[in-house]
Structure 1
Amino acid sequence: MVSLDSSEFDSEAELECYEDNIKEWNEEMCQAFMRKLSKDLKEGQALERTANLIEEPWLPEYIQPEEKVEEWTKPDLDEGEESQDEERWIWELDKGEESQEIEDSEANEEDDDDAPYVERLAFYKKETGLLDAVQTGVGQLNGRPVALGVMDFRFLAGSMGCVVGEKITRLIEYATNNLLPLIILSASGGARVHEGSLSLMQMAKISAALYDYQSNKRLFYISILTSPTTGGVTASFAMLGDIIITEPGTFVAFAGPRVVQQILNETIPEEEQEAEALFEKGFFDLIVPRHLLKNVISELLNLHAL
């Protein structure tokens, strides 16, 4: 909510009247959105489960510098060869795939925890085909240009290191310079401990870029939390969205139950760190099943453009 300076008004009554008008306008916009969404659902427009979120996900060099892709051009491919830019990391949100569950045993059994960090990076690059735990790009959502970042929990538990922080920061800066709406999907175990304080620095760096994007340029950022979203990601950009959306049953926390048990010797009921309980406490704006996300996001972007 925008903070109002009372010195800009001639009297307290004028300020109070202005605040009431803003509140009434917000309520009317919310009601209009819900009516439109309800109408779409009844007409079946929100149930197209096969549509992709992004069209033409070609990544400019500015967004993803380690991929030497010519800016705004489709890479030349031999017949049968697939480009990493073209992979379905775009998250086909309408397919209704279930979010990954956070478990202590989820670490890949082939990966040795005592292996050097460089070797672990090489292993996950080979295992996932990704360069790191986030993919960024630009595309269109129902014809509207958007900037998109998608985290991948398969790569070192989606942890945020220097590469992840730099790519997300550059994505935000690109969206700022080109006045694009921003969507970031989070799935992360938090800051990458292997990189020490450098990984923690990414929290401040990304948050600073978002401040310029949201406060100075007044652009629109939608944060989508998938399961699990924890640690430094939760404590930074994941919770800074103008609109924060999560899925049913999503695990969201700063520290998981096992960590809390070890440090505080207290047990937290599992359901207290799930989306439904946190929604009741005001952590999120919406809980949306994955197959409805595309239409909900599209309506939010349309409302913001009014």
Structure 2
Amino acid sequence: MVAKLSLVGLGPGSVDLMSIRAQQTIQNADVIVGYALYVKLIASLINEQTLVRTGMTKEWQRADAAIQLVEQGKNVALVCSGDAGMYAMAPLVFEMLSSKQINIEIETIPGITAANACASLVGAPLGHDSCTISLSDLLTPWEVIVRRIEAAAMADFAITFYNPRSRKRQQHIVTAQQIILKYRSANTPVAVVNAAYREEQSVQISTLEHFTELEFGMNAAVIVGNESSYRFDDWIVTPRGYKNKYILEDGETRAGQTPGRALESSAIDAEVEQETTNKEVL
């Protein structure tokens, strides 16, 4: 077998939500490298593989160890929670390879992201354009993060916040809340999901005005709806826009619209005006 570095996304941590490709890669590896907690999550896939485990904030050491082991002829699986390319190890590994001009066989195996996993537990909060923003300023200046929050809020993206709060960092999520409140209703639905699909999972649904009053920390993701998002029972729905083109009750195309063609905004405006007129008459 050719020596190769596989960057493996484990998804939220539950083996049944991990891709078959990811499971096979882990089982066939000579060495598994990863944060100790993530290695523990895949205990059922480990047999005779050599394990290299490190603690929190040791990302450089894990990446360096994985690269060196591949250079020694080993088939290495570097495991990450979620997707390896999303706030995980893939960017660091590729940066190190390019910086050191190292050429090794490498592949990235995608995993379910925290945003996707958390969203699945509360309906369809990411049904339209969305973005993810990490509130950790360990590697990114806080001024840059604030600028990104402002832009995302103004552009009406549904937003998933990673690393929303820690013992030392309590105010960042409050600042994010205050920025978004400039552009969205205080009643905008917000989901706070902790440890999705793990034993300690918890799901809380609140509003933009009140969600910071909930208890949550680094392991949570906070999903803030856009201006069209609404609460339906215990779900959050962010419409894709079908209601603009079709009558949802019977599936008929609205007047002035054509399936498969660009949305006619003028037709929407005319229909809204007609609905307003009808209400005034009543």
**TM-score for the superposition, normalised by structure 2:** 0.30
Structure (1 or 2) with the greater strand fraction: 2
**TM-score for the superposition, normalised by structure 1:** 0.28
**Greater gyration radius:** 2
Structure (1 or 2) with the greater helix fraction: 1
